[in-house]
């Protein structure tokens, strides 16, 4: 092997080593908070105050997890995160399903059943993606009061469904526009109507973007705090509000292990969703970009 070839090979190996080393260092840096949360939640309170947050626990205990799940005091109640976890499930599942379904129909209409002013309507809906949460709190509160849904889980479902329609419509519209119009025309010639084309032609082809929409909406809704604290109260609160209440409890010594365990419990659903379906999320985001 010539000197030039050896030099090039060494340079290539050094470049790979530098790239992988940098990636590993960045991964460790970004995973450090997760590590601190996990190890702290597995320590006793005495060990935390006498040691450090980063070190491994001397004796692993799940007492903090038990307190966070079912015994930690939230205000005057000591029922932990369990009922609020259920509240979030009761909120996120119908809200994701409704916003995704409505967004799919909207995207289908805006691309395959175009009408005068369709682009203007889409522009108005797209504008909704840029509205901050704070801008809609007051009108949403008035609407929920008029519908007698204030402070309830169904009211929160309505809020998240309405707010998420702009995003899901954007996803499905940009995806459906890449599907050839010849497919819908052929279905119409065969006698298929509006809903038959939607369910038999469009939805089967839209699985990647359905996954994207569901993951996006699930993450946004599950992690939301502002709508939850604004439109619910007491036992109707979602898990993010309950987590905030647990962390802000100041009776005696600060229970860092319970706080970390509660934060992990609140984060587990979104972690599971991204671990299980993360690759489908990336595929769905890029699917529409490479068609047409």
Alpha-carbon span 103 to 212, nearest angstrom? 12
In the predicted structure, residue 290 carries a pLDDT above the cut 60: no
- Dihedral pair phi/psi, residue 74, rounded to 5°: -120, 100
Contacts of 13 (CB under 8 A, 6+ apart): none
**Which residue from 82, 96, 86 is spatially nearest to 221, judged by alpha carbons?**
96
> What is the pLDDT, as a whole number, of residue 72?
46
Q: Over the stretch 127-156, which tens digit does the pLDDT of each residue have?
A: 888 888 888 888 899 999 999 988 899 999
In the predicted structure, residue 86 carries a pLDDT above the cut 80: yes
In the predicted structure, residue 169 carries a pLDDT above the cut 90: yes
**Which residue from 232, 215, 216, 223 is spatially nearest to 137, judged by alpha carbons?**
232
Q: Over the stretch 258-278, which tens digit does the pLDDT of each residue have?
A: 889 999 999 999 988 888 877
**Cα angle vertex 219, ends 34, 237, to 5°?**
95
When pLDDT is averaged across residues 26-52 and rounded to a whole number, the result is: 88
């Amino acid at each position: 092997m010539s000197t030039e070839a050896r030099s090039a090979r060494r340079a290539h190996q050094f470049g790979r080593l530098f790239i992988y080393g940098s990636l590993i260092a960045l991964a460790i840096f970004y995973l450090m908070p997760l590590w601190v949360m996990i190890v702290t939640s597995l320590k006793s309170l005495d060990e935390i105050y006498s040691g450090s947050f980063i070190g491994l626990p001397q004796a692993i205990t799940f007492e903090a997890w038990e307190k966070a799940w079912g015994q930690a005091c939230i205000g005057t109640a000591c029922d932990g995160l369990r009922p609020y976890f259920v509240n979030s499930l009761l909120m996120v599942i119908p809200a994701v399903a409704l916003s995704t379904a409505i967004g799919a129909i909207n995207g289908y209409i805006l691309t395959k059943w175009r009408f005068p002013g369709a682009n203007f309507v889409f522009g108005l809906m797209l504008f909704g993606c840029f509205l901050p949460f704070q801008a809609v709190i007051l009108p949403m509160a008035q609407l929920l009061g008029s519908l007698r849904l204030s402070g309830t889980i169904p009211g929160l479902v309505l809020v998240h469904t309405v707010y998420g329609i702009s995003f899901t419509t954007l996803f499905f519209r940009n995806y459906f526009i890449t599907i050839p119009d010849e497919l819908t025309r052929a279905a119409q010639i065969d006698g298929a109507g509006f809903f038959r084309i939607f369910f038999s032609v469009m939805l089967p082809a839209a699985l990647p973007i359905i996954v994207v929409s569901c993951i996006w909406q699930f993450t946004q809704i599950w992690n939301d705090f502002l709508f939850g604290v604004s439109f619910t109260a007491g036992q109707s609160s979602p898990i993010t509000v309950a987590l905030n209440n647990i962390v802000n409890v100041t009776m005696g010594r600060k229970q860092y292990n319970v706080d970390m365990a509660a934060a992990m419990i609140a984060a587990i659903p979104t972690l599971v969703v991204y671990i299980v379906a993360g690759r489908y999320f990336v595929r769905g985001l890029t699917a529409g970009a490479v068609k047409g």
